Amino acid sequence: MSDSQDAVVWTPEAEAKLKEIPFFVRPAARRKIEQLAREQGQTQITIEVYDQARKKFS
């Protein structure tokens, strides 16, 4: 994979939180969370990044 923008890694804890989101909105939520992380220069989605995104988009 040569596109560095796709290189966002989810921790197992954050991935588990994502699975709490209803399946029909999960893909959109994943994209928004990853976009927020990239904008902040993050390469990993942690619980903290997940919670920050949840607060921003709620």
Q: Tell me, yes or no, if the pTM score tops 0.85.
A: no
Closest CA to 33 of 50, 8, 11: 50
Structural domain boundaries of the chain?
A: 4-57
Evaluate whether 38 touches 7 at the Cβ level (below 8 Å): no
**What architecture does CATH give domain 4-57?**
Orthogonal Bundle (1.10)
Residue 2 has pLDDT above 80, yes or no: no
pLDDT, position 31: 96
Predicted confidence (pLDDT) per residue in 4-48, tens digit: 546 899 999 999 999 999 999 999 999 999 999 999 999 999 999
